[in-house]
């Protein structure tokens, strides 16, 4: 019986063994490869299919033929209550937020809508090959419970928390404001649930510096201190007008990062999204704190926020994840964001290789989110989190790949030309959580 047997998945394997920004030969591609997974969904071994099949006494075989098996994408920044707010026309960050985003987030006051959207949101991510997502949740407690329930039921690895705002301002609907006391009670409830769930994690989520009072920031610090297993996520240095507004409000701070530092929120459990316009001093301090940065390529282009300075982050030894940043991003597929990530670096004179791109979306993201012992590549003992990319479904891709002179060149083509339409199946901990068409 399958449930009591290990499984061997056959296909072309592609993953990172190490960080390609530090080591050569970090990328491994195995044609006619095999991934051997135990009945609990953990990886036993991988390699050439003839070698693996010779070792396996008895196993269920899933033969994906010429398709590629790739570690699950790790989306380090995505907003659940912006599920239906993608591709909203007009304006840059602050105008866009007030005109299009905050009204969309108020719709989650309706429990039935929140329930339905939570399921669609998680299914959509899984259909793109995303197996881990760090999510900005709703302001409504029932909507976040729906999100965690949907994640448990549908099988994604989730890091999420309520998006916190308590500072009234023009254009911010009152319904989206919480009190620090209520926010703390709601967070404690979900933190307790996560303790018994290996795939669920809580992230304390102040929206950004201007949306939270001193009392709310201190409450966030208290949660982070009292629950060291939680994460903290927020935004930083995304847009020049935003930075000017933050520095005008916190006029005693020399830069944006210092606002979060004042409240003890810059730690090795912190993930800051964007950081497009950092000073060298901020990069120094982010590196020293071992805080992670999440780069959101599609969003940065859509909102015209700027070009992410990847080289400067790498120079400071900062761990980087990639995010779709739905709804500012216009694709739910982190894979599609890799093509934008490449172009953003091209515009700054840096030509990334396929191993750099794949690293950022998989093992690099896992490292940035402290999940490198759990997911990110095919190492023995890790969770079998991967997706199957069946390029043969596209005649053009089949013909294009046939004309490549190496597997690396094929991977480069796939990074730019394949999309969620070629995702055949997605697995988290060996459980098939999406298959095409569904
Ligand atoms: Zn965001």
Q: Give the tens place of pLDDT for each residue, 61-76.
A: 999 999 999 999 999 9
Instruction: With cut-offs at 50, 70 and 90, classify the pLDDT of residue 438.
Output: low
pLDDT at residue number 57 = 80
Cα of 35 vs centre of ligand 1, distance in Å, is 35
Q: 169 falls in which pLDDT band (50, 70, 90)?
A: confident
Given this model, what pLDDT does residue 91 score? 81
Residue with tokens 């006051």: 109
Q: How far is the CA of 273 from the centre of ligand 1 (A)?
A: 7
pLDDT score of 337 more than 60? yes
Half-sphere exposure of 105 (CA within 13 A, CB side): 32
Q: Residue 288 pLDDT > 90, yes or no? A: yes
In the reported structure, the alpha carbon of residue 198 is separated from the centroid of ligand 1 by a whole-number distance in angstroms of 25
Q: What is the pLDDT of residues 208-221, one digit of tens each?
A: 999 999 999 999 99
In this prediction, residue 2 has a pLDDT band, given cuts at 50, 70 and 90, of: low
CA distances in angstroms from 365 to 354, 374, 382, 383, listed in the order given: 15, 12, 15, 15
CATH class of 2-71+377-435: mainly beta
345 close to 351: Cβ distance less than 8 angstroms: yes
CA angle, residues 43, 229, 199, in degrees to nearest 5: 35
Residues with CB under 5 A from ligand 1 (ion): 325
Secondary-structure class of domain 73-332 per CATH: alpha beta
- β-sheet bridge partners, residue 36: 8, 45
pLDDT at residue number 88: 86
Condensed to tens digits (0 to 9), the pLDDT of residues 420-432 reads 999 999 999 999 9
Q: Write the pLDDT tens digit of every residue in 217-248.
A: 999 999 999 999 999 999 999 999 999 999 99
* Distance of CA 308 from the midpoint of ligand 1 (Å): 15
Structure tokens, 380: 């023995």
Torsion over CA of 235, 238, 244 and 249, rounded to 10 degrees? -10
| Residue 15 pLDDT > 90 | yes
The domain segmentation of the chain, as residue ranges, is: 2-71+377-435, 73-332
Please tell me the distance between residue 191's alpha carbon and the centre of ligand 1 in angstroms: 22
Task: Give me ligand 1 centre to Cα 329, in Å.
Answer: 9
pLDDT at 413: 97
What value does the mean pLDDT take over residues 347-369? Answer: 98
Q: Compute φ and ψ for 311, nearest 5 degrees.
A: -60, -40
Instruction: Say how many Å lie between the CA of residue 438 and the centre of ligand 1.
Output: 28
77 C-alpha to ligand 1 centroid (Å): 6
Cα 392 to middle of ligand 1, angstroms: 34
Q: Stretch 175-200: mean pLDDT, rounded? A: 96
Q: What is the pLDDT of residue 27?
A: 98
Question: For residue 159, is pLDDT > 80?
Answer: yes
Q: Measured in angstroms, how far is the CA atom of residue 294 from the centroid of ligand 1?
A: 10
Asked if 160 and 129 touch (Cβ cutoff 8 Å), the reply is no
């Amino acid at each position: 019986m399958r449930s009591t047997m290990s499984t061997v998945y056959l296909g072309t394997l592609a993953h990172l063994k190490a960080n390609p920004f530090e080591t050569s030969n970090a990328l491994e591609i195995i044609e006619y490869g095999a991934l051997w997974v135990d009945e609990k969904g953990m990886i036993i071994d991988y390699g050439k299919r003839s070698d693996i099949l010779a070792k396996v006494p008895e196993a269920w075989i899933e033969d994906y033929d010429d398709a590629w098996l790739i570690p699950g994408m790790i989306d380090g920044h995505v907003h659940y209550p912006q599920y239906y707010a993608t591709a909203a026309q007009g304006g840059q960050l602050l105008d866009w937020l007030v005109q299009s985003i905050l009204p969309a987030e108020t719709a989650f006051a309706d429990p039935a809508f929140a329930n339905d959207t939570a399921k669609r949101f998680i299914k959509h991510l899984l259909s793109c090959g995303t197996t881990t997502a760090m999510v900005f949740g709703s302001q409504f407690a029932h909507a976040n419970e729906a999100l965690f329930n949907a994640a448990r039921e549908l099988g994604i690895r989730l890091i999420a928390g309520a998006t916190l705002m308590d500072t009234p301002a023009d254009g911010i609907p009152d319904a989206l404001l919480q009190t620090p006391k209520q926010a703390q009670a709601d967070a404690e409830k979900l933190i307790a649930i996560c303790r018994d769930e290996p795939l669920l994690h809580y992230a304390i989520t102040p929206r950004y510096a201007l949306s939270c009072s001193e009392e709310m920031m201190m409450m966030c610090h208290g949660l982070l201190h009292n629950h060291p297993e939680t994460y903290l996520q927020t935004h930083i240095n995304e847009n020049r007008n935003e930075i000017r507004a933050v520095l005008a409000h916190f006029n005693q701070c020399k830069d944006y990062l210092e606002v979060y530092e004042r409240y003890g929120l810059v730690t090795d459990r912190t993930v800051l999204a964007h950081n497009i316009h950092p000073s060298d001093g901020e990069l120094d301090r982010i590196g020293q704190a071992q805080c992670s940065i999440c780069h959101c390529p599609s969003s940065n282009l859509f909102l015209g926020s700027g070009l992410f300075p990847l080289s400067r982050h790498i120079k400071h030894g900062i761990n980087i994840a990639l995010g779709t940043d739905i709804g500012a991003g216009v694709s739910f597929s982190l894979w599609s964001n890799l093509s934008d990530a490449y172009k953003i670096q091209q515009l700054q004179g840096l030509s990334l290789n396929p191993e750099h791109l794949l690293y950022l979306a998989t093992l690099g993201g896992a490292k940035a989110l402290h999940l490198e012992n759990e997911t990110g590549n095919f190492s023995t003992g890790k969770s079998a989190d991967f997706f199957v990319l069946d390029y043969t479904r596209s005649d053009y891709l089949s013909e294009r790949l046939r004309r490549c002179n190496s597997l690396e060149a094929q991977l480069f083509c796939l990074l730019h030309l394949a999309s969620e339409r070629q995702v055949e199946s997605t697995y988290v901990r060996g459980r098939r959580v999406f298959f095409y068409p569904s």
